[in-house]
Chain A
């Protein structure tokens, strides 16, 4: 597609349930990132994938968070046993190189009740 596509755009779940957020990057972009944006906060780095290299998972806040990228394209961020503090907008971005020009999706807004 023309841009980074994320789904769902909004997700409301109950505490303790698992959620999956999907990201479809720009075709040909080798790097894919997940960031979390809480209300009034900046963007918190979660994880990035670059080509066939091992992902940089250093930003994942707990072992309840995991992500995978299949076939070097689509990525899924999974949050297990969701907590209320997981409520945020989860932004996915992709880039062609390492010069910092990230193209962001519109985000998936997660609300944990």
Chain B
């Protein structure tokens, strides 16, 4: 199936630092989404992007849908301990398609 390459695989940062992670693919995606998974829980949607070039913020989180439609990034500003978790990018290949392809995740650890 289609693959999303997510990087970095893991990050250790100091509380208060900014974080950046990204996702790339060789295929064009119609929709890009970012989810966060806390331990023992299912992933929760953070940000959804539906147009190439779109830049969307949700509190301290900002995500962009790349112009080429083959990539997306997620930034977290002024990290706090509760930002710890695994962040997944996900994409929909076709408009109206219900199937989501997920990246392998970025595990974020925040050092107080």
Decide if A and B are genuine partners: yes
Q: Measuring CB to CB, which residues of chain A are less than 8 angstroms from any residue of chain B?
A: 4, 31, 33, 35, 40-45, 48, 50, 56, 58-59, 91, 93, 95, 98-102, 104-107
| CB <8 Å contact, B42 and A100 | no
Known: A99-B50, A104-B42, A104-B44. A42 touches B98 (CB 8 A): no
Number of A-B pairs, beta carbon distance below 8 Å: 65
CA distance A42 to B103 in the complex (A): 6
| CB <8 Å contact, A4 and B104 | no
Question: Quick check: which of B54-62, B77-85, B88-96 contacts chain A, the rest being far away?
Answer: B88-96
Q: Measuring CB to CB, which residues of chain B are less than 8 angstroms from any residue of chain A?
A: 1, 4, 6, 31, 33, 40-45, 48, 50, 88, 90, 92, 96-105
Q: Of A35, A44, A98, A105, which one neighbours B98 at CB under 8 angstroms?
A: A98
| CB <8 Å contact, B99 and A45 | yes
Residue pairs across A and B with Cβ atoms less than 8 A apart, 28 shown, are A4-B42, A33-B100, A42-B6, A42-B88, A43-B43, A43-B88, A43-B90, A45-B1, A45-B102, A50-B98, A56-B98, A56-B99, A59-B1, A98-B92, A98-B96, A98-B97, A99-B48, A99-B50, A100-B33, A100-B48, A100-B90, A101-B33, A101-B48, A102-B43, A104-B42, A104-B43, A106-B41, A107-B42
Residue of A48, A58, A102, A106 with most chain B CB atoms under a 10 A cut-off: A102
CA distance A113 to B90 in the complex (A): 32
Least CB separation from B32: chain A residue: A100
| CB <8 Å contact, B48 and A41 | no
| CB <8 Å contact, B92 and A35 | no
* 7 nearest CB pairs, A to B: A104-B42, A42-B104, A43-B102, A42-B102, A100-B33, A98-B98, A100-B31
Shortest CB-to-CB span from B59 to chain A, Å, is 17
Shortest CB-to-CB span from B24 to chain A, Å, is 14
CA distance A48 to B100 in the complex (A): 10
